[in-house]
Amino acid sequence: MNNNGGAAVRDKNPIYCQDNDDQHGNNDGDRDGNVPEGAMAMGEEISLAQVSQSTATCTTTRDRHLAGNSVDFYSVYDGTTPYNDPDFYGTRALYWPEFASNIGSMANYEPNITWTRAYDFAQRNNNTLWGSDGIAPNDIRQGAIGNCWFLAAASSLAEVPGRLEQVFLNDTNEIRASGIYGFNFYALGVPVTVVIDDYLPMWGSSTLFAKMGPDSGLWGPLLEKAFAKYHGNYENIVGGWSDYAVRTLHGSPSTTLYHS
């Protein structure tokens, strides 16, 4: 991936924007907390040999990145056994309860969230990864958290065909049964690979956070999940700078312009 990108623009304060029309996402699903087929309720025990998620510290995400990914991405990607991420799931993927500042809207959403595999969701709704028209800026639709600064960066990168596709290790439009997705991010200009499984937080029959595109592409919610993992949890990506998001997604330099 080359590092030639456009300049990002930001205001003087971090952006905490929200979809005011529907703070819980789309209105197309029931909200009684029923768990649809293929979903995992928040309180359900995950039958995995998973790494213990201990109390987070200020170096938790750094240590996770330095340790690298414990999975051979391409071996799992080409297989049919669904991947389960041992480092990013359940409550701690949403927020870290031991940090009082992290206990906001996520704690309120949590009782009604179910985690559904993108593969199972796609089987019912005929979704693909990029969508029938490919990646486009208007695929981005914000959900229930204030991360428009990140979504705006992803949308702007999508204006150039092929640029955002390079962020993904997945190289086809298929939502595969293996349920693994890899992403090329940048930390201070240094490439960092983030790997996730395909469980997405759902509210009724819709994704709670970023929505699928108008052409049924699921790349937005999956990219958002990887970005949340990169920062520790979803709560940690509420409010931020779009220029930083561009640098993280593309490794591009940026310029900050202040408006009077």
Backbone region of residue 231 per phi and psi (left: phi > 0; alpha: psi in -120 to 50; beta: other values): alpha
Question: Does the structure show a pLDDT above 70 at 50?
Answer: no
List the structure tokens of 14. 């971090």
- Structure confidence by residue, pLDDT tens digits, 99-128: 766 556 788 888 889 999 999 999 998 888
Helix residue ranges per DSSP H, the chain = 60-67, 73-77, 90-94, 105-109, 118-125, 148-157, 219-230, 242-250
What span, in angstroms and rounded, lies between the C-alpha atoms of 218 and 140? 10
Report CA dihedral (171, 129, 218, 222) to the nearest 10 degrees: -20
Query: Counting Cβ atoms within 10 Å, is residue 210 exposed (0-12), middle (13-18) or buried (19+)?
Result: buried
On whether the CB atoms of residues 191 and 184 are closer than 8 A, the answer is yes
pLDDT at 101: 60
pLDDT at 109: 85
Question: Does the structure show a pLDDT above 60 at 43?
Answer: no
Residue 135 burial (CB count, 10 A)? 29
How do the domains of the chain map onto residue ranges?
1-42+83-260
- Structure confidence by residue, pLDDT tens digits, 24-41: 333 333 323 333 334 444
Residue 207 burial (CB count, 10 A)? 27
- Structure confidence by residue, pLDDT tens digits, 188-218: 888 999 999 999 999 988 888 888 888 888 9
Max mean pLDDT range (56-60, 131-135, 175-179): 175-179
Nearest Cα neighbor of 237 from 15, 9, 7, 70 is 15
Average pLDDT of span 51-76: 72
Confidence category of residue 17, pLDDT binned at 50, 70, 90: very low
pLDDT at 102: 54
Alpha-carbon dihedral sign for residues 173, 189, 245, 62: positive
Max mean pLDDT range (59-73, 89-103, 119-133): 119-133
pLDDT at 68: 67
- Out of 4-18, 68-82, 108-122, 129-143, pick the least confident: 4-18
Alpha-carbon dihedral sign for residues 233, 143, 245, 14: negative
Question: Does the structure show a pLDDT above 90 at 182?
Answer: yes
pLDDT at 70: 74
Query: Counting Cβ atoms within 10 Å, is residue 53 exposed (0-12), middle (13-18) or buried (19+)?
Result: middle
Chain mean pLDDT for the chain = 77
Backbone region of residue 131 per phi and psi (left: phi > 0; alpha: psi in -120 to 50; beta: other values): left
